[in-house]
Structure 1
Amino acid sequence: MASAVTRILCLSSLLAASLLLIWLGLVMPSAATTGIASHIVVDKSDRRLDLMQGEAVMATFAIALGGAPEGHKGEEGDQRTPEGHYVIDWRNDRSGYHLSLHISYPDAADIARAEAEGKDHGGMIMIHGQRNALGWLAFLTQRFDWTDGCIAVTNADMDIIWNTVPDGTPIEITP
């Protein structure tokens, strides 16, 4: 009986230590990125966001997208992340998610396309971290597409993006 209890305690301690290491790895800052990004490139199929300085990649981050990521956003609620050329046009440090940068979707073409189809084009597409108070779950949430069409990263990655991407930064989102 004592050996079973000892094994359970050892396994519990090992599990707790593993979870602590995962959590520390996700909330500690990533490698330092210096400079200001000239533009952002998002590759939806590779689930990757690259911060660029000219033609050089400054940093690369794993992303989660909307729950139905294939194709261009067509209407409110379709859970698609838009595709095309936009701009980071404002930021929110009091977001329901750990920091957020607004993508200038919809543009005039998006609005015209949605109106021609009698649909609401949607909006409020952001690059953001994890839901506030749940950043420690990024090791799980970043393994699947869970947003309503936004681009989600870990909180540590969002801190880097926030500090290197000023308002007015172009963003290209590719299929």
Structure 2
Amino acid sequence: MNGLAQFFSRLSLLALFGLVGFVLWDRYTPPAPPATLEPIIGQIDRIVIEKSERRMVVLQDETPVRTYDIALGFAPEGDKVLEGDGKTPEGLFKIDRRNEQSAFHLSLGINYPLPEDRARAQADGVDPGGDIFIHGQPNRRTRPEPIMMDWTNGCIALSNTEIEELWSVTPVGTPVEIRP
């Protein structure tokens, strides 16, 4: 093998090792820690959930103070009609209860079904469902990261860290708007 062919052979081998090293480094290097956010001071005034964007916006004095990525019911398109349909309800609600002993890490109850939901369900001969919450991950779950797919029975799910923050600033009576 002449000198030029040897040089290109070694250069190709070096490039291959470099590429493999970069791929391994990129794949197995842990991600950077999330940015530390300023804590929310005081109570919030309103929660807006945008189902199509899988986003929750928390407002204080009509100013967004936090945005969370969320998971919804396993069949999120459309408004909740009956128990077991996997849909997250749409409309104007309020936080009506807080549960520290939930099967999920903390939960804030939403006052669904409203009287009009009950009337519609009764006219259709179905059960409208209930027990809709904003909550964290299942308590039995061992992995700390959030589940980033729609998996609930109609609730709104956050990471455990996020629900802890929301829990600390959300009183009973807080308005919740759930948009399509």
Correspondence for 1:163: 168
The question of whether the paired residues in 2 share the 8 Å contact of 1:88 and 1:167 is answered with yes
| Alignment equivalent of 2:128, drawn from 98, 112, 121 | 121
TM-score, normalization by structure 2:
0.80
Correspondence for 2:12: none
Structure number with bigger Rg? 2
Correspondence for 1:146: 151
Q: Identical aligned pairs, as a percentage? A: 45
How far 1:133 sits from its partner (Å)?
3.9
How far 1:136 sits from its partner (Å)?
2.7
Correspondence for 2:21: none
Correspondence for 1:66: 73
Q: How big is the alpha-carbon RMSD for the aligned residues of Structure 1 and Structure 2?
A: 2.2
| Separation in 2, partners of 1:35, 1:135 | 32
| Separation in 2, partners of 1:133, 1:105 | 26
| Separation in 2, partners of 1:89, 1:104 | 6
Distance 1:135 1:35, change over 3 A: farther
Q: Aligned ranges for residues 35-46 of structure 1 at < 5 Å?
A: 35-46=42-53
| Separation in 2, partners of 1:96, 1:156 | 16
| Separation in 2, partners of 1:130, 1:29 | 21
Q: Aligned ranges for residues 65-84 of structure 1 at < 5 Å?
A: 65-84=72-91
Q: Relative contact order (C-alpha < 8 Å, sep 6+): which is higher? A: 1
Distance 1:151 1:30, change over 3 A: farther
- The list of structure 1 runs, each at least 4 consecutive aligned residues, that deviate by more than 2 angstroms after superposition, is 28-31, 135-139
Q: Aligned ranges for residues 19-98 of structure 1 at < 5 Å?
A: 31-98=38-105
| Separation in 1, partners of 2:58, 2:141 | 25
After superposition, give the CA deviation of every residue in 1:96-143 in whole Å (9 maximum; x if it has no partner): 11000000000000000011100000000000000014263534x12x
The question of whether the paired residues in 1 share the 8 Å contact of 2:55 and 2:69 is answered with yes
The question of whether the paired residues in 2 share the 8 Å contact of 1:106 and 1:121 is answered with yes
TM-score, normalization by structure 1:
0.82
Q: Which amino acid aligns with 1:115?
A: Q
| Separation in 1, partners of 2:98, 2:82 | 23
How far 1:92 sits from its partner (Å)?
0.4
